Amino acid sequence: MSKIGSAIYEIHHMDTIASREQWVNQIHPLVKLVLTIGYIAVTVSFHKYNLVGLIGMLVYPLSMFLLADLSIKDSIKRLRIVLPLVCFVGIWNPFFDHTFVFLGDVCICGGVVSMLTLMIKGLFSVLASYLLIATTSIEKICYALRLLRVPKLVVTQILLTYRYITLLLGEVNQMTQAYALRAPNQKGIHCKAWGSLTGQLLLRSVDRANEVYESMLLRGYQGEFGYLGPQIKMRKKDWLFFLFWSSCIIFVRMVPIVTIIGNFVGGH
Amino acid sequence: MSHIHIDVENVSFQYEKGKPILDRISFHGAENDSIGIVGANGVGKSTLLKLLVGLHLNYQGSIQVEAIPVQKETLPRIREKIGYVFQDSDSQLFMSTAYEDIAFAPRNYGLPEEEVEKRVVSALEMTGINHLRDKQIYKMSGGEKKLVSIATILSMMPDIIIMDEPSIALDPKNRRNLIRILNSFEHLKIIASHDLDMILDTCKRTIIMAEGRIVCDGPTEEILSNQQLLEDVGLELPLCMQKRS
């Protein structure tokens, strides 16, 4: 499969995972969205040298991976493009931050600790976002965004952008395949054809987007957000799920649980 | 006169100045009419259909759907009455599953969820695709997508259905199914197609277009058996009428 073909497959695969009948997938989307936002906010709020405390935050993504029956290995594989970027963010810290901090009894350069903290914050945030989209369909996420009073224009943009990505990639795939079939000895696309291919892609994408929009208009779409399905009611288990995880996240933030466990295991 | 009718009077249209696509088109369609629009490529069939649902508004002449003129202010009312099936199903389907797509229109019209469910089930039954209910669109074949596209308009319970090349991408069995669905629709239907055999099976009346004009409008059997007329406009007899050499 071509790179573009596999990208389209990955997007569709995420849709399939999100629409499974797993217990976590059935939790109210608003609960999962608020928990994800809250989790990221709390994760980011850790001090740059509080590496040990931050590790405790692993409890949420780890448990969710198990509850949702998702493979961590596959997830890391899917996130391989984003993760280097996340790691790159903190890479300069050791050069600029020369403070010394103690990790237990070990004295380490503060720059290294803050770099690791930043990387782990990024990693945890990306994992939490991945968990959200792997357990909640885009329609349900948009529904939850509307419940949070995000303007309908913004929510519609998110929904349609998600839908158009596959259409756009499909067009790119078709064009590159047609090119490759008539240029069998070339690797990739010759720079002379870049301009016309990009222009064609733009025109085709605009045409396709226009047709999809026309189709929506013909079926009563008037910019109103009435198409995301029935109202989803909050059930008891949704509340319990929310209360449990929000308490856990706050607890891990307030109590240095990793240090306590470490002291306990180490016999201090 | 029944309330279901379309009246097109002297309609001309052009995308670019000096290059008319449609030239003084006039015809009327009433309840129980089934009109096939045929013609060679590029004669303006799809454009004409798009004008009927107000996708292009800068036309000259008059188009009225159930006595409502097709203009910007009246589009929501008009589009509630017409179900339009696009030539390319990928343009028609944009939600993740068949159910979501078929429910799109009833939900937009503010129907309660029980009614939406009823309509979706009914549309799925009419098109014989109950088994596709929760299937994701991207996993469907071209034929399945076409049937879902048709179901998306049936759930609107329209007075008029308009279809642009509906039999494209259908295998013989699904094509037969399509003909059955079209024949079971009792109101007004307008179908543009190159599939003259399908037009013969589904439409009592046929309009032939050439160079943006209507060159003939009459009973399908009569028109589609006129070899000379068909050849003059770049068409051929339907396959079922052609002698095997």
User: What value does the mean pLDDT take over residues B60-79?
Assistant: 92
Cβ atoms of A75 and A65 within 8 Å: the answer is yes
On chain A, the residues whose CB falls within 8 A of the CB of B110 are 226
User: Which residues of A touch chain B, with CB atoms under 8 Å apart?
Assistant: 12, 15-16, 19, 137-139, 160, 163, 166-167, 170, 208, 211-212, 214-222, 224, 226-227, 229-231
Express each pLDDT in A84-116 by its tens digit. Answer: 887 787 788 888 877 887 776 778 888 888 888
What tokens does B62 get?
Answer: 């008059």
Mutation to test the A interface, candidates B47, B78, B88, B104, most A Cβ within 10 Å? B104
Domain coordinates of chain A in residue numbers? 20-136+232-262, 151-218
Percent of chain B with pLDDT over 90: 64
Q: How far apart are CA B109 and CA B76, in angstroms?
A: 10
Q: How far apart are CA B162 and CA A78, in angstroms?
A: 43
Cα–Cα distance list, A6 to A20, A162, A198, B19 (Å): 21, 16, 21, 43
Residue ranges in chain A whose pLDDT is less than 70: 1, 104, 224-230, 267-268
User: Looking at residue B132, what is its pLDDT?
Assistant: 93
Express each pLDDT in B97-152 by its tens digit. Answer: 899 899 989 988 888 889 999 999 999 999 989 999 988 888 888 889 999 999 99
User: Looking at residue A268, what is its pLDDT?
Assistant: 61
Q: How far apart are CA B185 and CA A249, in angstroms?
A: 58
User: Looking at residue B228, what is its pLDDT?
Assistant: 92
User: Looking at residue B138, what is its pLDDT?
Assistant: 82
CB contact under 8 A, B136 and A19: yes
CB contact under 8 A, B108 and A220: yes
Query: Among B101, B108, B105, B146, which Cα is nearest to B128's?
Result: B146
Q: Facing residues of B22 across strands? A: B13
User: Looking at residue B139, what is its pLDDT?
Assistant: 84
CB contact under 8 A, B100 and A229: yes
Please provide the average confidence, as pLDDT, over all residues in chain A: 85
User: Looking at residue A175, what is its pLDDT?
Assistant: 86
Report residue B156's pLDDT band, with 50, 70 and 90 as the boundaries: very high
The residue in chain A having the minimum alpha-carbon distance to the alpha carbon of residue B104 is A227
Query: Among A3, A94, A104, A2, which Cα is nearest to A53's?
Result: A104
User: Looking at residue B159, what is its pLDDT?
Assistant: 92
User: Looking at residue B1, what is its pLDDT?
Assistant: 54
Q: How far is A182 from chain B (nearest CA, A)?
A: 26
Q: Is the pLDDT of residue B65 over 90?
A: yes
User: Looking at residue A229, what is its pLDDT?
Assistant: 62
CB contact under 8 A, A19 and B97: yes
Express each pLDDT in A31-45 by its tens digit. Answer: 999 999 999 999 999
Give pTM, 2 decimals. 0.79
Please provide the average confidence, as pLDDT, over all residues in chain B: 90
Residue type, B176: R
Cα–Cα distance list, A86 to A90, A109, A132, B47 (Å): 8, 21, 18, 50
Q: Is the pLDDT of residue B239 over 90?
A: no
CB contact under 8 A, B109 and A220: yes
Residue predicted with more confidence, B182 or A92: B182
CB contact under 8 A, A215 and B53: no
